[in-house]
A and B are shown apart, each in its own frame.
Chain A
């Protein structure tokens, strides 16, 4: 048994495959969707999404937020930004993480509400997620 699953971003449909299971994190915690799952709409926490294919192969993606919609035996992940593991530029992500970390260290002690701080933390999280997904 497999379930048709697609990962859709605003600019294109990233993948559309038959899978045995979808692993991701929603607002309520880790979730795995197997064929026959009850209809569900959840918001996806930025993280690794794994699509396990029938032959045992798996597709890994970095998904930066969005929603998952399970319905009529079909899983759709709607993400504003998502990347396939093979398409991630690991070098660039590492550099981005370093830059963000360095700048954060400089800003240590500055007030919490600083928009630059918020922006940097988000950038760092994005870079770390990319490294985690691509680096395995």
Chain B
């Protein structure tokens, strides 16, 4: 039946256009969220920087007495891995990249005992499907983490390190290096990085301010060793908060990029479908004209024959 194909195509174009409206809206929303996430990230920097300075001073004073609170454990037997992804999908490879890195890490540590704590709704299904046990997961705040959320996560993680249940805590999350570049990174949360050491840097603190060599110059209240014990949980929760903010900014960036690509693809699809549809319509019109002409011709011939 002429026109049938055209109708089918018209319906498909409509549906692509409807999807495009959604992807464009999501793109715009994500773009506005990036700005907000970035400003929250910037607002959190002074606190982390301040704590890093305090840590540097305290660590310099304590020296070798820090025990297992500082440095990189030589032979960790029990590791806790904290993986951070998003609650929602439609953000390109953002979640998969982190989860794949997590899977790789857990599998590589097969000979040591690992525990896994995750942030983001997308983590447990992926990992459980691959028979990786998730000990605890947090959901509901990945796109807009507050400090209270970070504290909640820290409370699930830090005590395990302090009481010796685990020797090392690793974080896998997406670092927000700039608006154009985010990378999945694995770094050590606890023990705290030795300031100035070659250990993995944490957030802004990769360039921890080196305290000038002036031991005994800074007063500590209480003693530096006790202070360090106080500092570890505070520093860890600030570092988790920082990582969550960076992950949120990265999530919005990934979503904006994915949705921009989807919008562009929809544009192209609409264009090529319209072309096919126009040809189908022209074909249908041509066929119809041929039929009319043919019909008229037949009538004329039959009239002439009489």
Question: Is B44 a contact partner of A40 (Cβ separation < 8 A)?
Answer: no
Question: Is A67 a contact partner of B231 (Cβ separation < 8 A)?
Answer: yes
Which residues of B does A touch, CB under 8 Å? 40, 43-44, 46-48, 50-51, 53-54, 57-58, 146-147, 150-151, 217-222, 224, 226-227, 230-231, 234, 237-238, 241
Chain B residues, Cβ within 8 Å of A128: none
Chain A: interface size category: 20 to 34
Q: Which stretch from A9-17, A49-57, A87-95, A98-106 is at the chain B interface?
A: A9-17
Question: Is A39 a contact partner of B219 (Cβ separation < 8 A)?
Answer: yes
| 30 sampled A-B residue pairs with Cβ under 8 A | A6-B46, A8-B47, A10-B44, A10-B47, A10-B150, A10-B237, A10-B238, A10-B241, A11-B40, A11-B146, A13-B46, A13-B47, A26-B221, A27-B221, A27-B222, A28-B221, A31-B221, A40-B221, A41-B54, A41-B218, A42-B227, A67-B230, A67-B231, A67-B234, A78-B47, A78-B50, A78-B54, A80-B147, A80-B234, A80-B237
Which residues of A does B touch, CB under 8 Å? 6, 8-13, 26-28, 31, 38-43, 66-67, 69, 71, 76, 78, 80
Additional A-B contacts beyond A13-B43, A13-B47, A41-B224 (20; CB < 8 A): A8-B47, A10-B150, A11-B40, A11-B147, A13-B46, A27-B222, A31-B221, A39-B217, A40-B219, A40-B221, A42-B219, A42-B221, A42-B222, A42-B227, A43-B221, A67-B51, A67-B234, A69-B54, A78-B47, A80-B234
How far does the Cβ of A74 sit from chain B's closest Cβ, in whole Å?
A: 11
Question: Is B220 a contact partner of A40 (Cβ separation < 8 A)?
Answer: yes
Chain B residues, Cβ within 8 Å of A28: 221-222
